[in-house]
Amino acid sequence: MKRCYYETLECQKGATVEILKTSYRKLAMQFHPDRNPGDATAEGKFKEINEAYDVLKDDQKRAAYDRFGHAAFEAGMGARAGAGGNPFDFAGSFSDVFEDFFGDLMGGERKTRRGNRGQDLRYNLSISLEDAFRGRNAEIKVPTTVACETCHGSGSEPGHNPETCTTCSGHGKVRASKGFFTIERSCGACRGSGKIIRHPCKTCRGAGAVQKDRLLNVDVPPGVEEGTRIRLSGEGAAGLGGGPSGDLYIFLSVEEHPIFQRDAHDLHCRAPVSFVTAALGGSVEVPTLDGGRAKVAIPEGAQSGRQFRLKDKGMPVLRSSQRGDLYIEVAVETPVKLTKRQKELLREFESGSQAGTHPEAEGFLARLKEFWNGGDPA
Ligand SMILES: [Zn+2]
Ligand SMILES: [Zn+2]
């Protein structure tokens, strides 16, 4: 169940635009994602507040909401907010919040905006670590609202024309006197459009606009990280009544890699090394994320967990020519499936080993003795 927009903004149903705005600003400040990083509840609240204010600040939308409730917007919202792997979501009108704040802080002189700015959209794009390394040009499909081709945006069946609304004489607004005041509000009969459509176009059901996928190229630069946002200015939802389009935010997520683990700009890779190589020294070949190979020299007596750094073989740093490093961690492997002969050789090896052959085990044993004796004063 969706909360009532007035409840969301903690206002009465008849609240003036000023009251709504004051309350909206207070709540938007309180629940803004920048102030509540990682708090999903606050983020949800922030979206709710934005959505409620977006509707109630607008005469036309408010009139529609007062009359039809949430149902007034469901057709439009459901198309995008639906589940089922749809990567789209409303990002909330971030810029709107800040424009409002700054407009006021700068001491008035607000630019008068024609119409309503379209909503910001969010697109979740998942890329591989290789893509994050090299950068990539991704083609995405963005659903947008375009004028209906059948009726050329009029909303009426071809051959019919929308009629002028008789309630408001085509003004879209009606006046009502209440005591000393004359209140102008959006006309309910035509929902503020000034026109009545008697024969709705079958293609767009009278809306005058249809949803269409648009292909967009997104340039993902090398070095992006989980959560990096790319803003495509003006590629969000179309504005209403001649207003500018919203922005499209690409939210990136980087998939796990089977070989490399990322730590900011550095990469980590575990390289299994045979115990013979670890004991006698040698070299191992390791992969690099650019698809190449690198040789790492293993010194005599290398232990498990020892790290070797390959400078500048890590991730590129976003918008810079710098590179992180690649760390290779040695993992000494205990051999399995030994033949009888191999086992004999190992037993021979064991009997021949002297003090200092296994420094860690010897050190551990020494510490154990101390611990047990220390715990028992006898
Ligand atoms: Zn149409
Ligand atoms: Zn009307």
Which residue ranges form the domains of the chain, and what is each CATH number?
Answer: 261-375 (2.60.260.20)
Q: Whose atoms come closest to the Cα of 205: which ligand?
A: 1
CB 48 within 8 A of CB 10: no
Residues with a beta carbon under 5 angstroms from ion ligand 1: 148, 150-151, 201, 203-204
State the pLDDT at residue 242. 61
How far is ligand 2, taken at its centre, from the CA of residue 69, in Å?
19
How far is ligand 1, taken at its centre, from the CA of residue 212, in Å?
13
How far is ligand 2, taken at its centre, from the CA of residue 131, in Å?
54
Could you tell me the pTM of the whole model?
0.55
> Shortest CA distance to 135 belongs to which of 257, 263, 266, 317?
317
CA 60, 66, 67, 70 dihedral sign is positive
Helix (H, G, I), strand (E, B) or coil at 247: coil
Q: CA–CA separation, 3 vs 9, rounded Å? A: 10
25, with CB counted inside 10 A (0-12, 13-18, 19+), is: middle
How far is ligand 1, taken at its centre, from the CA of residue 19, in Å?
38
State the pLDDT at residue 115. 56
Q: Whose atoms come closest to the Cα of 207: which ligand?
A: 1
Q: Whose atoms come closest to the Cα of 209: which ligand?
A: 1
State the pLDDT at residue 240. 63
Q: Whose atoms come closest to the Cα of 152: which ligand?
A: 1
Q: Are strands 88-90 and 121-127 parallel, antiparallel or unpaired?
A: antiparallel
Q: Whose atoms come closest to the Cα of 200: which ligand?
A: 1
State the pLDDT at residue 74. 56
How far is ligand 1, taken at its centre, from the CA of residue 161, in Å?
12
Q: Whose atoms come closest to the Cα of 168: which ligand?
A: 2
Query: Which segments in the chain show pLDDT lower than 70?
Result: 1, 72-115, 239-242, 375-378
How far is ligand 1, taken at its centre, from the CA of residue 135, in Å?
41
Q: CA–CA separation, 32 vs 13, rounded Å? A: 24
CB 206 within 8 A of CB 197: yes
Q: Whose atoms come closest to the Cα of 193: which ligand?
A: 2
> Shortest CA distance to 76 belongs to which of 195, 204, 198, 200?
204
Q: Which residues contact 360 (CB under 8 A, 6 or more apart)?
A: 303
Q: Whose atoms come closest to the Cα of 206: which ligand?
A: 1
Q: Whose atoms come closest to the Cα of 189: which ligand?
A: 2
* Exposure b/e, 257-281, CB count within 10 A at least 16 = b: beebebeebbbbbbbebeeebbbee
How far is ligand 1, taken at its centre, from the CA of residue 203, in Å?
5
How far is ligand 2, taken at its centre, from the CA of residue 117, in Å?
23
- The first and second tokens of residue 340, run together, are 């009888």
Q: Which residues contact 142 (CB under 8 A, 6 or more apart)?
A: 121, 123, 213, 214, 215, 216, 235, 248
CA distances from 323 to 184, 266, 319, 367 (A): 62, 8, 11, 42
How far is ligand 2, taken at its centre, from the CA of residue 174, in Å?
8
How far is ligand 1, taken at its centre, from the CA of residue 80, in Å?
20
